[in-house]
Structure 1
Amino acid sequence: MNVKSIMECERRSLEKMKKYQLPNKFKKIGIGIIVLSTATIITNKLSIDNIDLTLTAKYGILLGLLVVSISKEKIEDELITNLRMQSYAFAFIAGVLIALSNPLFSYIANTVFEKQQENFQGMGDWQVLWILLSVQVFYFEFLKRMNK
């Protein structure tokens, strides 16, 4: 395989990625969903205390993070696409490491400080998805600011 065919293959894969992105205006919509869901959780904790409303708001936060994550930037060039891919890779690795280490640290802390044996519990689906999406969004923003 020569260099030109490798570069052509990379260019085509980057072009395919653009098909799965939302327009830039959806970034503001995603942030709005996150803010509304967070306000709903806070209000629910302070006054209503409805478990179903809390669960719906938690998944609203995930939806907002996903919308922000897949929204295009105002200027979508090769650098931004590369930074986006780096942030997805970093989020995946960080998410797996956190998902594997968090239950172990919780078990050790519970055993040491509470002096009782608890069952070894893993993380829930919401926690894993929240870690993946939030790490990706924040790391992507960090990479953008570092490359300006």
Structure 2
Amino acid sequence: MRGLDPIFQVLRTVPPLAWLPLSLAAFREAQPSAIFVIFITSVWPIIINTAVGVRNVPQDYRNVAAVIRLRGPAFFWKIVLPAAAPYIFTGLRIGIGLSWLAIVAAEMLIGGVGIGFFVWDAWNSSNLSDIIVALVYVGLVGFALDRIVALAGRIATRGTQES
């Protein structure tokens, strides 16, 4: 954690859309570049929350694993993953929200298709009612995605995760 955390913190603080020119240069196409921007936006809260979850595995769990000589993959699957799962799903919920934000922003800049392009096109056409409808749509889809991930988290963690 001490070695990787500074790297994660530096990369995490780079604004997502600042990655767009580099991804366009690397991929030379709009769609893979947008996907990369979405990925780079959403991956940091997932990684950081997962690391916190793994670091916060209760010592009692580790002691029980030592007593029953649980090691390697069995220790990971039976102790670490279940204990870290609430943190992982919290990171996923944050990541989903950020990725939805990045989708809209990337589509505004790249153009062509999508809700971001629709909002930008409506702005250029001075059609504020379409923008309001799009914003409500974005909010509702974001809410639905959050609820889906929260439900998956409750199922995966057997209800131990807060909603």
Fold conserved between structures, TM > 0.5? no
Q: Which has the higher contact order (CA 8 A, sep 6+)?
A: 1
In the superposition, the TM-score normalised over structure 2's length comes to: 0.30
